[in-house]
Amino acid sequence: MAPRGGKGKQAETRTKTIWFLLVDHEGKLRFGDLTVLDVQADITVAALQRMIKEKKRSHLGPFEADDFEVWTYKHMDLSSDPMFEELEDIVGRIKFLKASKNPKRLSPKQKVAKIDPAEDVILLVRVPPPQTTDTAGGGDGESFIRLAPTQHV
């Protein structure tokens, strides 16, 4: 049976090459240099986050991929293949603000096909702060210790 409209859709498997940097919650490069990943263009940013976690599992083991923030960032010095120290300087000046246009935060539902990584654009993957015993319970970061009452004789 022929598809409607007379023309069949070809099953195209397009891939995109994505360059990314892992940035900690303070905006510092603590997880290595630029990394490349070839991905299917039809996946979501959420799926990309899981692929990034798998690719960099030695650095990202304790973190949940769903907690990553993915941002696009454009800077003229990125097209010149900068050294790690230059990347640290560039990334150190970035302000991660929700209403920002550069960097721009991507929605987890967004398709990778909509991301157009030009030569001077990279993805910044912002990793949440590590969980500590104070924050692991999902509380407000405060710890309470209950002391046993003392008896005076």
114-135 pLDDT, tens digit per residue, is 887 677 788 999 999 987 655 4
pTM, whole model, 2 decimals?
0.73
Residue 48 placed within a domain:
yes
Distance CA 91, CA 42 (A): 28
Residue 105 placed within a domain:
yes
Q: How many structural domains compose the chain?
A: 1
Residue 106 placed within a domain:
yes
> pLDDT tens digits for the chain (153 residues)?
444 444 444 445 688 888 899 999 988 888 888 899 999 989 999 999 999 999 999 989 889 999 999 999 988 777 667 788 888 888 888 888 888 889 999 999 999 988 876 777 889 999 999 876 554 544 444 433 444 444 555
Q: Which domain holds residue 54?
A: 15-126
User: Which CATH number does the domain housing residue 100 bear?
Assistant: 3.10.20.90
Residue 92 placed within a domain:
yes
Residue 136 placed within a domain:
no
